[in-house]
Amino acid sequence: MNFTFTNEQQLLADTVQRFVRETYSFEARREILRSKEGWSRELWDGIAGLGLTALNVPEEHGGLGGGPIETMLVMNALGAGLVLEPFLSAAVLCPTLLSKLGDAQLAAELLPGIASGERIVVMAHQESASRGLLDSVSTRAEKSGDGYILNGGKSVIAHGGIADEFLLTARTSGKPHDAAGVRVIRLPADTPGLTVRSYRTFDGQSAADLELERVQVSASSFVGSESDVLDAIEATRHVGLSALCAEAVGIIKAVNATTLEYTKNRKQFGQPISRFQALQHRMADMFIHAEQATSMSYLAAVKCQESDIVARRRALSAAKVIIGQAARFVGQQAVQLHGGMGMTDEMLVSHYFKRLTAIDLTFGDTDYHLQEFISASSGS
Amino acid sequence: MDLNFTPDEIAFRDEVRAFLAAKLPEDLSTRVKAGLAIRAEDFRRWQKILFEQGWAAPTWPKRFGGTGWSTVQQHIFEEESAMAGAPRTLPFGLRMVGPVIMAFGNEEQQRRFLPRILDAEDWWCQGYSEPGAGSDLASLKTRAERQGDFYIVNGQKTWNTLGQHANWIFCLVRTDPNASKPQQGISFLVIDMKTPGISVRPIITLDGAHEVNEVWFENVKVPIGNRIGEENKGWTYAKFLLGHERTSIAGIGSSKRELGRLKAIARQEIKNGRPLIEDPLFAARLAQIEIDLMALEITNLRALSQESANHAPGPEASVLKVKGTEIQQALTELMMYAVGPYALPFERASAEEGDLRSAAGPDYAAPLAAAYLNARKVTIYGGSNEIQRNIIAQMILGL
């Protein structure tokens, strides 16, 4: 048992922290938020320059073959900087899905471009009726001649608006919630019949809804085999959850530090408001939440590739519950302790709060994962 | 980063498990697992079994008869013992006065007192709190006046846990009433409970139990040789003592055991024709506790690995106290609600006698209300959870 990081891991963490500190100031981020695109290709190239886009790509495809611990350390740092670029979507989820689907040919074709950061490939799975459920796929792929016709839609796909192409799920058979019949299809963003409606989410990130109307694809667009597609999707979700939890922990620690600093400087009744016990105890509770969240982020990182599915589900859902609750408590209380200033767009705290809130709504919220934990535990 | 125990630690855990399987008497573990009161003879019996094994003092160094275990080994032993249903070991000698005597007592005191803690020949109780000195312990008033080779002690102590069985008490007393700060002028005395002038009066708590007492001192003559350390330096020793209470403060092992009991009860109780454990609202409350406990277990391991590195529990222990006790309370509460109206029948005596039969309703329901009521203490004792938040605010957040 040890909770230390290797020298290489520590170096990686330091490097990303420095990058965020030096290039991702509050003002720089606001500039990006104000831009039409909502992300910076230049900073993305910087992120790629640090090797981060290659981190989750296996070495044989030009990657660094990093694991969940490295991803956790990167996400801690990117979280603290509220980085808007698509690291999670394009550099964690996508290479993970490709690995889990085991399509060697496509991996060889796509992964080098993903590793270098040149191509943004995004997984498009969630639908309007999903609410976190992974088997809720109603988009259909129907055989037509040599190829297939796709009809349906995908909902709130993170960074969908800037994707060069998608790894999109559709059903060749069965009905929503059937385990079998789901396939992953490689779909370039400019495919005729595909409409990408891009928008911002309240945390400043971008997302898109996809509409598929009689989209024609060839049989060669299908990725991997028919079997175990939902298992691969779930395995990808678990790796994504671990990364998302780490992002939340990075934010929680940063927002706690910001709040502590603010209460030491803000004076009312002739003294810093940090002298008031009501506020001290609130910040003690925020600290306790941060500690429990850190612990569960470690657990998520260690267990997200565990082969025992029950243990993996329990660990990841438990982690998301603790972190979702911590995110909500810390975010809400940080705004509260900043008083009126916490309500303003010009204070960092409000941006932290919004991202923490969004994280709880991503990949299944706290209630969803509480239920998942119960289902996974039944019989144990 | 590795959350698994090392092969050596796993081998140690197996050794502990084998010992518990062979030497933990079944009537004792049955009692513990059913949530019945642990009697004085139960505590003594288990301590003597541990003594025979050489495991009487998991937290002590070898030269004083301890095991010399690492903090991780101590944690494994604690957790395995609790899960197997071993009675908890009493902290008053082993984890409170023992470490103070080891650190600050003279050789004669060490020879005289330490061995009798190990084999449970002495039963210690704590003389810290007073009616007017709870969280503000330094305001204590019990006086000890020098008279030749003796101190004459007058005053009152309270919340003496299991003091009715004790033959020794360790006390904080005021030896210099004129000191400039209340923390100065306090000394640390150990007192034979049979000394004339000491009277012990029971305090019956809200669960009907006689667990705590008041101890009155009326011109009690205490030899100067019973002072541990220097005169007027007692506050230093007192703080040292409280810092040593921390390693097992999270109560992970016993909470895991109680979680298992709660699940077993919820499988037997029926709601709407289905086992209660399948009721969505109940299942959600149960899952929340289990998840909180999972998180605390890792937080505890993180604190332990820090502690092995730094050799002293830090203020992070306050996090363990707050979360650990909240979980303990949540468990006793949900267990009581799990049995519904049959939590209401209340027969204190049968629980104390170890009678497993309930006056009415299922037997497992009998001790649940008392456990719930009694567990309100855990967020109050050992430094109330509000004091723990003060510690976090001051020592960690620097406020």
For residue B185, give the CATH number of its domain.
2.40.110.10
Domain stops at, among B89, B114, B139: B89
- B279 lies in the same domain as B169: no
Are residues B264 and B192 part of one domain?
A: no
Q: In terms of domains, do B256 and B227 share one?
A: no
Interface contact A280, partner B, CB < 8 A: yes
Question: Which residue in the set B5, B288, B392 is minimally distant from A284, CB to CB?
Answer: B392
Per-residue confidence of chain B (399 residues) as pLDDT tens digits? Answer: 999 999 999 999 999 999 999 999 999 999 999 998 899 999 999 999 999 999 999 999 999 999 999 989 999 999 999 999 999 999 999 999 999 999 999 999 999 999 999 999 999 999 999 999 998 999 999 999 999 999 999 999 999 999 999 999 999 999 999 999 999 999 999 999 999 999 999 999 999 889 999 999 999 999 999 999 999 999 999 988 877 665 578 899 999 999 999 999 999 999 999 999 999 999 999 999 999 999 999 999 998 888 766 556 678 889 999 999 999 999 999 999 999 999 998 876 655 665 556 778 898 998 899 999 999 999 999 889 999 999 999 999 999
Closest residue of A to B318, CA-based?
A288
CB-based contact, A182 to chain B, within 8 Å: no
Residues of A in contact with B291 (CB under 8 A): 318, 321-322, 370, 373
The total number of structural domains in chain B stands at 3
Whether A1 and B291 lie within 8 Å, measured CB to CB: no
Domains along the sequence of chain A with CATH? 7-119 (1.10.540.10), 123-223 (2.40.110.10), 229-377 (1.20.140.10)
Q: Are residues B308 and B384 in the same domain?
A: yes
Tell me, yes or no, whether B99 lies in a domain. no
So which residues of B are the catalytic ones? 245
* B206 shares its domain with B287: no
Residues of A in Cβ contact (< 8 Å) with B388: 284
Distance from CA of B382 to the nearest CA of A (A): 18
Q: Cβ contacts (< 8 Å) between B6 and chain A: which residues?
A: 1
Q: Is residue B31 part of a domain?
A: yes
Is pLDDT of A227 > 90? no
Would the CB atoms of B291 and A295 count as touching at under 8 Å? no
The closest of A86, A234, A237, A216 to A164, measured between CA atoms, is: A86
Same structural domain for residues B389 and B277? yes
Domain with B126, as residue range(s), is: 122-233
Closest residue on chain A to B320 (Cα): A288
**Do residues B34 and B367 touch, judged by C-beta distance below 8 A?**
yes
Q: Is B57 exposed, middle or buried (0-12, 13-18, 19+ CB in 10 A)?
A: buried
Q: Has residue B328 been placed in a domain?
A: yes
- 3-state SS, residue A50: coil
Minimum-distance CB partner of A302 among B3, B72, B292: B3
15-34 in chain A: CB under 8 A from chain B: none
**ipTM for the complex shown:** 0.96
Q: What is the largest CA-CA distance in chain A?
A: 79
For residue B117, being part of any structural domain is answered with no
Q: Is A264 on the interface with B (CB under 8 A)?
A: yes
What CATH number is associated with residue B375?
A: 1.20.140.10
**B184 with B263, same domain?**
no
* A163-207 pLDDT tens trace: 999 999 999 999 989 989 999 999 999 999 999 999 999 999 999
Confirm whether B110 is domain-assigned: no
CA dist., res. B105 & res. B98, Å (int): 9
Q: Please indicate, yes or no, whether residues B276 and B388 belong to a single structural domain of this protein.
A: yes
Look at residue B115 and tell me if it is in a domain: no
Tokens of A83: 């980085």
Q: Which of B167, B166, B162 is nearest to B192 (CA)?
A: B167
Residue B244 lies in a domain: no
Do B226 and B259 share a structural domain? Answer: no
In a domain, B78, yes or no: yes
Residues B291 and B385 placed together within one structural domain of the fold: yes
- Separation in Å, CA of A296 to nearest CA in chain B: 6
**Domain shared by B46 and B165, yes or no:** no
Q: Which residues of B touch A377 (CB under 8 A)?
A: 287, 290
- Which residue type does B32 have? V
Least CA distance to B301: which residue of chain A? A1
Q: Do B28 and B130 belong to one domain? A: no
Does the beta-carbon distance from B301 to A284 stay under 8 Å? no
Which region holds residue A224: left if phi is over 0, alpha if psi is between -120 and 50, else beta?
left
Tokens of residue B7, six digits:
């092969």
b/e map B173-190, b = 16+ CB within 10 Å: bbbeeeeeebbbbbbbbb
